[in-house]
Amino acid sequence: MNTTLRINGNDKQFPQDRAPKTLAELLAELKIDQATVVAEIDGRIVERKDFASAALQPGQSIELVRFVGGG
């Protein structure tokens, strides 16, 4: 059984026993530095300080905007 999470408009499958349970776990799985990403779950902004407590459910729409340096 797989768990499906919708990330930036694309479905991503995770084995059910290894599916990330929080936003922080998802970012670690995707190897994204928390300090460089703005995250939304179902259109609502999740502040970085809440990434570890933001629980993920299948069917949610997750938006991750990553920033690279330069300006």
Partner 1 sequence: MMTTVFFELKNSQIGIAGLGGLGSNVAVALVRTGAGRLILADFDVVEEPNLNRQQYFLDQVGCHKVDALTANLLRIRPDSDLVGRKVRLTPDNIPVIFAGCHVVAECFDRSDQKQMLVETVLSRMPDTAIVSVSGLAGYGRSNDIVTRRIHRRHVLVGDGTSGIGPGVPLTASRVGIAAHHQANAILELLLDTEMRSLWARRNTGAGI
Which tokens go with 3? 């768990």
Q: Residue 45, interface with partner 1 (CB under 8 A)? A: yes
Does 41 bind partner 1 (CB under 8 A)? Our answer is no
Instruction: Kindly give, in sequence order, each residue whose CB lies less than 8 Å from that of residue 2, ignoring residues fewer than 6 positions away.
Output: 13, 14, 15, 16, 19
CA dihedral (70, 52, 32, 7) positive or negative: negative
Q: Does 21 bind partner 1 (CB under 8 A)?
A: no
| Window of 9-17, 18-26, 34-42, 52-60 that interacts with partner 1 by CB under 8 A | 34-42
42 is a site residue for partner 1 (CB under 8 A): no
* Contact stretch for partner 1 (CB under 8 A) within 9-17, 24-32, 39-47, 54-62: 39-47
Return the C-alpha torsion angle 50, 26, 22, 17, nearest 10. -170
Contact footprint for partner 1 (CB under 8 A): 35-38, 40, 43, 45, 47-48, 63, 65-71
